Chain A
Amino acid sequence: MDSALIPEGAKRCAFPKFALGIAIVGAVVLWGVYAMGLIWWKGLNQTNMNDNYGFALWIWADLAVIAVGGGAFFTGLLKYIFKVDELKNIINFAVIIGFICYSSALLILAIDIGQPLRGWFIFWHANVHSMLTEVAFCLSCYFAVLTIEFIPNILENRQANKVPFFHHLAHNMHGVMAVFAATGAFLSFFHQGSLGGVAGVMYGRPFAVREGLLIWPWTFFLFTWSAAAFGPCFTLLVTKITEAVTGKKLVKDNVVHLLAKISGWMITTYIIAKIIDTIYWATVTVPGLGLDIDHFYSNNAFYGYWILFTEIIICGVIPGLLLIMKSTRENPTLRLLAIILGVIGVCLNRWVMVLQIMAIPVMSFDTWALYIPSWQEVATTVLPVAYGIILIAVTYRYLPVFPQEKELNAVQPVTETE
């Protein structure tokens, strides 16, 4: 019934099956919207946050989606500025994932603030010294850039593209996309970085504080670097999931291998920097404040050295090595393992840099504070995931997201069963 909207030559499931899938995920969206409504109506008392945990699950989710959404700016940078042409076959999808991540981040922020109607104060009464101000400005601007990057793909819909104006607009926008890709990379550098700076400048919190360069603590650079490193992992992971769900090969192996290789080198270099940062923090910064590293990983029921080991070794060093070595990178199972570990690793890093900071006592007579989110927090955190699934399903169905799809599935129909 919607065949006129489906890209020419592309095969899609029957509309009722599609609608049923959307309805199921839509129910999750409604659950999240209900929780969101409760929070806006009744306030943040609907959460399990407290005065120790001013930042909690949402801020982690916010940082995590922005980090994994980093695939959009980094892939765009590689494609349009460094002219890595093969990536044209995955750039549309990277942009869509980025769009989902950043729109989700903005939604989460709108739920998270105590006075949502005053959200614009961050622009109007901006404090130029605050990292959060930098986040707000760059995040909003970059979301606008992502929207601009997304528009040509929307206009390439079979029906929209029949309108000459839309056709030419999409064509011309593609032509100038390098400008937006460069702008996006610039903005991303600052907002990814300033999200790291949010933690690094908190000199009242020894677990978070870092020295740095000029006004930017080292976490500023580590966050940007890690987003560029792990973001492509998430792009590859979602591509893999989409291929599994649709039962089609959508991107050629050489494109996947290339992005995985770049990601692998970025992860490896990042994790070396992260290890150096951790050693310096543990041996110089923290002892200078009268604490030793044990203070941050003991005397509580959850945060032990396991989290540091998991983040840096299991989800940092291992995926980095797996992706830089040709034999493991080109092995589908090991590559999948590496990108899953990578995505977990960057999310774990954001967890540590939000929630563990809040949990650790600073005053000698203070105690650890652990927290379990309320169902309203969980529902509103699942909401963006469900929204993302719907947006990917809709865009995949109606837009020519994967330029290689037709070729891959016409020439080698056997791969459909893979």
Chain B
Amino acid sequence: MNKNDKKAHKFGMVIDLDKCTGCGSCMVSCMSENNVPFKEDESNKKDSITWMRVYKLTNGKSFPETEIVYLPRPCQHCGGKGDHGHSPCVSVCPATATDYGYDTGIVSQIYTRCFGCRYCMGACPYHARYFNWWDPKWPEGMEKYLSPDVSPRMRGVVEKCSFCYHRYQAAKDKAYYDGREDIEENEYQTACTTACPAGAIVFGDLYNPAHRVHEIVKPDPHPASINSTVVGKSRNPNVFRLLERLGTNPKVYYLSEREWVRKAGDNYLAGEWDKIKNHHGSESHG
């Protein structure tokens, strides 16, 4: 992604886990907004589609020290090693059916090109990709409520969170109509962001210092000194990304004041966390 390109964005999200109540509004709004199909029996979560999935984490301690946190997990829109756009899924798709938008940082899925090999699902460590094991079916009458802006997917293809890309397209169209070159922060917000009653999700352009997401995350543009494949590490001590050490460079950040929550975001060897928990951003660049 060329940051010097004035028109280039890097859309990302920060989710305040201390605010999230686990109500599931983000999941519902996402399914509704994006015409996500569902099964008659949703009890088996391993083959149901939830672009946004809320995980329940505990600190593993018994009462009265038990703490719980809910962790919403959309597609992480990884920038890949070095943030060069070779996301784990994009680089493996044999038919270029998933692509990286260098102008937005969004990982897209081209449903009509996907032939359902599922390699991308295997490559994604976040389980953010879902396969359409069945034909999509909605109860009679409900198809009238489908969004006309998002194409429903057919059986046999992979789908995932798009950061509500159709909303970005609509915002761009409006800006063009208004004679503006770019869109405002509030013109492009994902469905989950707008639906969250606690205001736990903040969405915007990680390149734009005026955007709230940038203010909270304070992304370091330089590679981390301890792992050069990690770019965009937060300089906010309470912000972390999932599995950051793999070098996937997600654009979804999480915020929590609780140390055990931040630790749960990645894997650490015994005693390792205490050594590196205070590394924020790129140490070599202050």
Contact = CB atoms under 8 A, between A and B. Distances in A.
Interface string B237-252: 0000011011110000
A205 B123 contact: yes
A291 B122 contact: no
Given A114-B156, A203-B247, A206-B246, A291 B113 contact: no
Contacts of A369: 46
A54 interface: yes
A148 interface: no
B243 A204 contact: yes
Interface stretch (A29-37, A118-126, A151-159): A118-126
Contact of A133 (B88, B94, B158, B242): B94
Interface stretch (B10-18, B200-208, B214-222, B261-269): B261-269
B224 to A, nearest CB: 13
A3 interface: no
Contact of B91 (A113, A125, A201, A291): A201
Contacts of A115: 114-116, 154, 156-157
Contact of B269 (A112, A204, A291): A291
B131 A204 contact: no
B155 A122 contact: no
A358 interface: yes
B81 A203 contact: yes
B47 A55 contact: no
Contacts of A113: 115-117, 156
B92 interface: yes
Interface residues of A, number: 51
A362 interface: yes
A372 to B, nearest CB: 13
Most chain A Cβ neighbours within 10 Å, of B122, B156, B245: B122
Contacts, number: 164
Interface in B129-172: 129-135, 154-158
Contacts of A358: 122
Contact of A290 (B125, B131, B242, B268): B268
A392 interface: no
B55 interface: yes
B118 interface: yes
Contacts of A82: none
B96 interface: yes
B57 interface: yes
B183 interface: no
B125 A114 contact: no
A203 B118 contact: no
Contacts of A331: none
Contacts of B96: 125-127
B275 to A, nearest CB: 12
Interface in A93-132: 112-116, 118-119, 121-122, 124-127, 129-132
A366 B242 CA distance: 12
Nearest to B128: A51
Contacts of A203: 81, 88, 246-248
A363 to B, nearest CB: 6
Given A51-B47, A202-B88, A366 B266 contact: no
A400 B209 CA distance: 77
Contacts of B92: 129-132, 198, 201-202
B247 to A, nearest CB: 6
A122 B92 CA distance: 12
Interface string A21-52: 00000000000000000000001110001111
Given A115-B115, A127-B96, A290-B267, A43 B135 contact: yes
B155 to A, nearest CB: 5
Contacts of A364: 263-267
A348 interface: no
B94 A289 contact: no
A125 B113 CA distance: 8
Contact of B267 (A129, A291, A357): A291
Interface string A327-351: 0000000000000000000000000
A306 interface: no
21 contacts: A43-B135, A44-B116, A45-B133, A51-B131, A52-B46, A54-B129, A118-B114, A121-B113, A124-B95, A126-B95, A130-B94, A132-B92, A132-B117, A198-B92, A201-B92, A202-B123, A289-B246, A292-B269, A362-B126, A364-B266, A366-B127
Given A54-B119, A364-B264, 17 more contacts: A44-B131, A50-B44, A50-B46, A51-B47, A51-B131, A113-B115, A114-B155, A118-B95, A118-B116, A125-B113, A130-B119, A201-B92, A203-B247, A290-B268, A358-B122, A362-B267, A364-B263
Interface of B: 44, 46-47, 55, 57, 71, 81, 86, 88, 91-97, 113-119, 121-127, 129-135, 154-158, 242-243, 245-248, 263-269, 272
Interface of A: 43-45, 49-55, 112-116, 118-119, 121-122, 124-127, 129-133, 136, 198, 201-206, 287-292, 295, 357-358, 362-366, 369
Lowest 4 CB-CB distances: which A-B pairs, in order?
A114-B116, A114-B156, A54-B118, A290-B267
